[in-house]
Structure 1
Amino acid sequence: MQNEQIISLTSLRTDQKLEESIQSLSNQKLDMYRPDFSRFLRFCQVENRKPDFDALEKYLHYSIVDQRVKLSTFNRRFAGVRFYLMHVLNLTQTEEQKKRIKLIRLLYNTEDYIRLKAMRGVRAERQEEVLQLINRYDTNKKADIRKRAICFVNLITANRPSEMVRLKVSDFDLTHRTVLVTLKKQGEMKEKRLTLECVKAIEKYLNTFNLQPTDYFVGGADRWGNYRNRMITERSYNRLIHEWLGFAPYTLRKTQITHMHRKHADLPTIAKQSGHKSLQTISEHYLEVDYSEVDKFL
């Protein structure tokens, strides 16, 4: 009888942990989409509409025709509101409603709205020019040693800001010139390669600050430049790279991807280093043809 009670309590704890994990993941999505759903609710209040999938059609059409939002914003709004309607209000989208929203999205293919499809993100720079900027910090000053190592790793790995702030010292295998990167977007770990020069910059940084395996690689720093073992926010990381190099971290990512392409790496090879799952995403949004190449044929 006592063993049965122990087994029963163990099962209850297991079930409870499962539900807590599911609830935690659901809450994360709710937090991510809450601003989009709040805008939708304001639209429904102004137009005296019930928040449902019929109202979502009107809201998305209004977003294009009246607010002239970009396609990327349209897609985010749709995903966010749909998640709330399905998982919070427990509503079901019919096949007919799905078809109608697909038709609404086709407005972006018409002459009146086609310019809203354009995605003008950060530009890639020449890798050698970016390296020159990074190597300005090739000094023996503690602050410069940290800056150079972080920027170098971000460039060579083509990491996203979300991946840089999550790196830990234990993720690096400097002997084999690799690093395990947590891909937050895909929910998996990815091994990436490092150059020999990058490894040397990392070693200098780790030794100078006496970093331990459990320490965050980027971490924080106080006003005197002393390292603090904590995971900084992506916003803080963006601000740091802007301050150190004069552009966004995504410029480092795009620069490295374009550099590999210019050296004739195929898309699967580039994806292995960048952490992309979709080769189409790389070709459509990351690879840039140098204007000097275009000029040759004009």
Structure 2
Amino acid sequence: MSGAENPKIIRLNTIATNQKVNASIEAVLEQKKKMYQPDFDQFVCFCEEEGRALDFDALEKYLHYSVTEQRVKYSTFNRRAAGIQFFLKDVLGLEQTEDEKKRIQIIRQLYNTEDYLRLKPMRGVRAEKQDEVLALINKYDTSKRSDIRKRAICFVNLITANRPSEMVRLKVSDFNLENKTVWVMLKKQGEMKEKRLTLDCVLAVKKYIETVGLAPDDYFVGAVDKWGNYKNRMITERSYNRLIHDWLGFAPYTLRKTQITHMHRKKADLATIAKQSGHKSLQTITQHYLEVDNADVEEYL
């Protein structure tokens, strides 16, 4: 009698599959725990100081304290709320009632009141003019191997409006230079996204791949040793931030914001900008990337 006919017999491959699934789920949960651990630790300290149990009632009080006493930014409030809710639900196994959800929503609305409205804006890096950024990138248009690498990486970061987390994960095989496209791993959204490249960008990438002798499975950014030799390993986002700052004098998010603003000024609609930048929310683009530049205002004063 086969395993299919006898429900009491469990095949070895079934057990192996179950173990792999459980391991994958555990890995995702561990990653989220690591990401939210600092926020949860602060919440635990708050509960210990006030003699509260670790539950959603305490979370409500802690979030209110975060706004009214600590006066944390709106983005910090949302991160704390998401992180602690994850721990309470997915780690401690607690259930949140609809009333508890509603009360936290009401506390979040404090940011819409006059007393806390100044905590709401998110002040990020400012956009530069694209032609000025291209001029900085093109200073590396030389025959030196190190300059060829720098120019290609900066060019791709600008045109794709990639995040640092996306740049360090790019592989040579992700590029389709004939079609002027690249598949980008959006770590934040957990998906792959096809983005367009300009002809100048394609030529810079092609020159880099040929000069360094990159293989399809090599990381596009990779690392270099102290002698300038390429090493096929993924560098950290922090190292990437430092690289771009050393090369151009500003953080890589400036490249992202510059490209998004440039597309907007060329009259691209929000859906087109989102397709290239990898944003899921059009509202995020409007609120955090497309604020009117002071220079634009001065034109009409």
Q: What SS is found at the alignment partner of 2:192?
A: strand
- Deviation per residue, 1:74-107 (Å, 9 max, x gap): 0000000000000111111111111111111121
1:276 aligns with 2:289: no
Q: Does 1:239 align with 2:260?
A: no
Q: Deviations over 1:245-283 (max 9, x none)?
A: 111111100100100111111111111111111111111
The answer for the alignment partner of 1:212 in structure 2 is 215
Residue identity opposite 1:269 in structure 2: T
Deviation at 1:12, TM superposition (A): 1.2
Alignment of 1:113-132 (within 5 A): 113-132=116-135
Letter of the 1:62 partner, please give it. Answer: Y
**1:86 matches 2:89:** yes
Q: 1:287 Cα shift?
A: 1.2
The SS at the match of 2:221 is: coil
Match of 1:202 in 2: 205
Give yes or no for contact 1:124–1:288 (8 Å, CA) kept in 2. no
- Report the residue type matching 1:34 in the other structure: Q
Q: How does 1:108-257 map to 2 (within 5 A)?
A: 108-257=111-260
CA RMSD of aligned residues (A): 1.5
Structure 1's consecutive aligned runs of 4 or more residues displaced over 3 angstroms after TM superposition are 1-7
Any stretches of 5+ residues in structure 2 without a counterpart?
none
Whole-Å Cα distance in 1 between the matches of residues 212 and 107 of structure 2?
Answer: 55
- For the residues of structure 2 that align with 1:61 and 1:278, how far apart are their CA atoms? 27
Offset at residue 2 of structure 1 (A): 7.0
Give, in whole Å, the separation in 2 of the partners of 1:288 and 1:107.
23
Task: For residue 125 of structure 1, give the secondary structure of its aligned residue in structure 2.
Answer: coil
TM-score (norm 2): 0.95
Query: Match of 1:85, SS?
Result: helix
Aligned to 1:27: 30
AA aligned opposite 2:133 = V
Q: TM-score, normalised by structure 1?
A: 0.96
Secondary structure of the corresponding residue to residue 189 of structure 1: strand
Deviation at 1:68, TM superposition (A): 0.9
> How far is 1:3 from its partner?
6.2
SS class of match (2:219): coil
1:14 matched to 2:17: yes
> Which runs of 5 or more residues in structure 1 are unaligned?
none
The residue identity in structure 2 corresponding to 1:204 is K
Assess, with a 3 A threshold, how the Cα gap between structure 1 residues 133 and 96 changes in structure 2: closer, same or farther.
same
Structure 2 counterpart of 1:33, one-letter code:
Y
Identical pairs, percent: 71
- Shift in Å, 1:7: 6.4
Instruction: Give me the whole-angstrom Cα distance separating, in 2, the residues matched to 1:3 and 1:112.
Output: 67
In structure 1, how many angstroms separate the alpha carbons of the residues matched to 2:130 and 2:299?
Answer: 21
